Amino acid sequence: MSHLLYGGNVVANDVRLHYLRYGGQGHPLVLIPGITSPAITWGFVAEKLAEYFDVYVLDVRGRGLSSSGDHLQYDTETCVNDILAFVAALELTEYHLVGHSMGARFAIRCASQHPQGLKKIVLIDPPVSGPNRRAYPSQLPWYVDSIQQSIEGMDAEEMKKFCPTWTLEQRQLRAEWLHTCYLPAIVKAFNDFHDVDIHQYIPQISVPALLMVAGKGGVIQADDIDEIQKLNPNISLSHVENAGHMIPWDDEQGFYQAFGDFLDQSII
C-alpha cells in the first residue's frame, strides 16, 4: 500500500510550488531533487522514507507541476529562497533537509543562512564544480537533447539512449515527466554548477550534515572530500561504493544504509 497522502500546491516566494507528501508521521523531512528530477521521480524513495518520516518532495520551480516559464528566474539564490519560503508556508517548525545533486547544493546554501527549524541536512553527491574548479562530469547537451526529445514525445525505449542502465520502470517514468523540465531553467542550473562557488557556504553550516558520495559517480573525488571536511570538520561522510550519481537508482538498499543513524533512524 502506498504511503502517498496527496499532492499539493503552495504560494511561496511569489510562485506556485507543487509538492508530494508521503507518510504524514514522524519528523518532517523535505526532499529536494536534482536538476531534471520532478518530485514524482523520487516517489519510490519517498515511499521508503515515509516509513520513518513525514516526507515532502518538492518540484523545484521549472520542473514538474511548479511554476515555470520565461517570466521567472532560475538562479541558485532564487531557488534557495523558494525552499525556505516553502518550509515557512507549510509551517514546519522543525525539519530535515535532504538534497540530491543540485538539491544538495541548494541545501548547503539554505543551511548557511541558519534558518529557524532546520535540524539536519543530507547532501547526496552534490556537484563540486565552480569557478576555477573541475567541470561537472555530465555535459549540457545530454540534458538539452533528452528534454527536447521528451517535448516531442518519447517512450522508455527511446530513453534508453540517455539512461542505458536504468530499469524499464525507471525509464518509463522519466520519459513521462521529463518534458515538464523547462529547458531555460535546466540550462541556468547547469551553468550555476560552474558559476556559483558553493564551497564558500560550507564553513557556515552549523547544523549536523552528512555528505553521501557515489563510489562510481565521478562527481566527488577523494580530494574534494578532503577539502569539504577541512572547510567544515563537522560534516560526516558515507559512501555508496557500487552506485553512480543517481545513487538510489543504482543501489537503492545501499542508499538507505548510507544514512546510518544520522537522522536518528536506521532506514531498513
**Contact (CB, 8 A) for 57 and 5:** no
Confidence tier at 9 by pLDDT (50, 70, 90): very high
8 Å CB contact between 174 and 166: yes
pLDDT in tens, 167-205: 999 999 999 999 999 999 999 999 999 999 999 999 999
Alpha-carbon distance of 86 to 92, in angstroms, equals 9
Residue 158 belongs to a domain: no
Q: Which domain holds residue 105?
A: 4-139+195-258
Residue 169 belongs to a domain: no
CB-CB contact of 255 with 248 (8 Å): yes
Residues in the chain: 268
Model pLDDT for residues 122-139, shown as the tens digit of each residue: 999 999 999 999 999 999
pLDDT band for position 80 (cuts 50, 70, 90)? very high
Whether residue 100 is contained in a domain is answered as yes
Q: Is residue 115 part of a domain?
A: yes
Q: Is residue 45 part of a domain?
A: yes
Check whether 69 has a pLDDT greater than 90. Answer: yes
pTM metric for this prediction: 0.97
Q: What CATH number is associated with residue 46?
A: 3.40.50.1820
Q: What is the pLDDT of residue 198?
A: 98
Do the domain assignments include residue 236?
yes
Answer whether 48's CB lies under 8 Å from 73's CB: no
Give burial (CB, 10 Å; 0-12/13-18/19+) of 128: buried
User: Model confidence over 156-169: pLDDT tens digits?
Assistant: 999 999 999 999 99
Query: Can you tell me the mean pLDDT for 242-253?
Result: 96
Q: Write b or e for each residue in 183-198: b if 16 or more Cβ atoms lie within 10 A of its Cβ, otherwise e.
A: eebbbbbbebbbebeb
The pLDDT assigned to 30 comes to 98
Number of domains in the chain: 1
Tell me the pLDDT band of 53, cut-offs 50, 70 and 90: very high
- pLDDT the model gives residue 145: 96
- 80 touches 106 (CB < 8 A): yes
Q: Is residue 8 part of a domain?
A: yes
131 located within any domain: yes
Predicted confidence band at 217 (pLDDT cuts at 50, 70, 90)? confident
The tens digit of pLDDT for each residue in 222-232 reads 999 999 999 99
